[in-house]
Amino acid sequence: MLTNKVAFITGAAQGIGRQIAVDMAREGAKVIIGDILPKAGETVEFIKQKGGEAAFIPLDITKFDDVQNAVKQIMDSYGKLDILVPNASIVAHNNLLDISPEEWSRVIAINLTGTFYTLKAVLPHMVAQGAGKIIIISSGSAATGSGGGAHYAASKAGQNALVRNLARDFGPKGITANAIAPRVIQTEMLDALYPQGSPARESVINRIPVRRVGLPEDISELCVFLASDKASYINGQIILVDGGRTYAS
Ligand SMILES: NC(=O)c1ccc[n+]([C@@H]2O[C@H](COP(=O)([O-])OP(=O)(O)OC[C@H]3O[C@@H](n4cnc5c(N)ncnc54)[C@H](O)[C@@H]3O)[C@@H](O)[C@H]2O)c1
């Protein structure tokens, strides 16, 4: 579905981003991972062992220079950039009254401003190409205000607003933008929020109509589809992938 497409995915050292990288490579994309964790190199090795093409560029998405340099390297090496997946985020569950100004700023800097930096660095190239697919990994927290705390929910609501803005302003230039809004997906982030075997985790599972946590594949297969030419009329959407939880109660 993605033969010869060049895809830039942030935060693919682990979790959902890793699975998106693996599945996009399986579909023929050349995958470039931008992550702060050196273990992103293991994702690259895994993809190569499976016969795919991948590279790792270390970066901190809160540093615009890092992001710009990464995009420059991609353009120098591949000559184009077809797909952008801003996925890197952090969660810091806290009641609003317990969130320090520093913690607020850090969550917004990574989740929202980091997303803006990747968009700002990539979009000029997509506009010049007259084509591009952007899939932001947001969260159902934007709709519910729950999950990772007020700062996390606000950062994800900001990402959703970016998607609406992109769809409107860049659709006429051949670029589509959508968000996937996961809830309760089995990753390191989920284990930090709801430790395996804890009563809190059991309680969450009991509120999901399909009675299981989601898997990274539940997100990555949709992401592959949205990045493919088959999804060219889907634009400006925020797609909940939540096992039916959000509207079940
Ligand atoms: N897991 C869930 O249940 C869930 C639910 C809703 C939304 N999401 C969203 O899905 C996405 C992926 O989540 P996950 O569960 O795989 O998270 P994760 O914590 O397992 O992985 C996040 C990745 O982002 C990278 N990252 C963090 N800060 C960075 C920075 N400053 N620069 C570059 N990379 C950085 C990390 O190194 C890591 O590889 C996130 O946007 C998250 O908000 C996840």
Residue 247 lies in a domain: no
Q: What is the percent of the chain where pLDDT is above 70? A: 100
Q: What is the pLDDT of residue 193?
A: 86
Q: Tokens 């990555």 — which residue?
A: 220
pLDDT value of position 20: 99
State the pLDDT at residue 208.
Answer: 96
Q: Indicate if ligand 1 lies below 6 Å from the C-beta of 148.
A: no
Assigned token pair, 17: 């981003």
Instruction: List, edge to edge, every strand of the sheet that includes 83-85.
Output: 53-58, 30-35, 6-10, 83-85, 132-137, 175-182, 238-241
Q: Which two tokens stand for residue 243?
A: 């096992």
Domain membership flag for residue 233: yes
Find, among 44, 38, 43, 75, the residue nearest to 58 by Cα.
38
For the cut 80, the answer to whether the pLDDT of residue 249 exceeds it is no
Residue 203 pLDDT: 93
Which residues have a Cβ under 8 Å from the Cβ of 108 and sit 6 or more positions away? 151, 154, 155, 158
Q: Model confidence over 188-228: pLDDT tens digits?
A: 989 988 999 999 999 999 999 999 999 999 999 999 999 99
Q: Which residues are catalytic?
A: 152
Task: Tell me whether residue 55 is in a domain.
Answer: yes
DSSP label of 169 = H
Report the 10 Å Cβ neighbour count for 99: 18
- Does residue 35 line the site of ligand 1, with CB under 6 A? yes
pLDDT (0 to 100) of residue 64: 98
Where in the sequence is the domain holding 119, given as residue range(s)? 6-241
- Judge whether 70 lies within some domain: yes
Task: Report yes or no on 169 lying in a domain.
Answer: yes
Q: What letter does residue 79 receive in the DSSP assignment? A: S
Average pLDDT over residues 222-245: 98
pLDDT at 148: 87
Is 16 touching ligand 1 by the criterion CB < 6 Å? yes
Residue 160 lies in a domain: yes
pLDDT digits over 71-123, tens only?
Answer: 999 999 999 999 999 999 999 889 999 999 999 999 999 999 999 999 999 99
Quick check: is 248 in a domain?
no
User: Which pLDDT tens digit goes with each residue over 140-193?
Assistant: 999 999 888 999 999 999 999 999 999 999 999 999 999 999 999 999 989 988
**Residue 125 to residue 147: CA distance in whole angstroms:** 35
Q: Is the dihedral of CA 208, 213, 216, 221 positive or negative?
A: negative
For ligand 1, the distance from its centroid to the CA atom of residue 86, given in whole angstroms, is 10
Q: What's the pLDDT at 132?
A: 98
What CATH number is associated with residue 76? 3.40.50.720
Q: Is the distance from the beta carbon of residue 13 to the nearest atom of ligand 1 less than 6 Å?
A: yes
Number of other CB atoms surrounding residue 81 within 10 Å: 23
CA atoms within 13 A of residue 230's CA, in its CB half-sphere = 9
What is the Cα–Cα distance from 193 to 213, expressed in whole angstroms?
13
**pLDDT tens-place string over residues 10-40:** 999 999 999 999 999 999 999 999 999 999 9
Helix (H, G, I), strand (E, B) or coil at 215: coil
Give me the pLDDT at residue 147, please.
Answer: 84
For residue 51, give both structure tokens. 């016969």
Query: Quick one: pLDDT at residue 151?
Result: 97
Looking at residue 216, its pLDDT comes to 98
Instruction: Tell me, yes or no, whether 56 lies in a domain.
Output: yes
**141 Cα nearest atom in ligand 1:** 6
| Tally of domains within the chain | 1
Q: Which atom of ligand 1 is nearest to the CA of 192?
A: 19
Whether the per-residue pLDDT at 248 is higher than 80: the answer is: yes
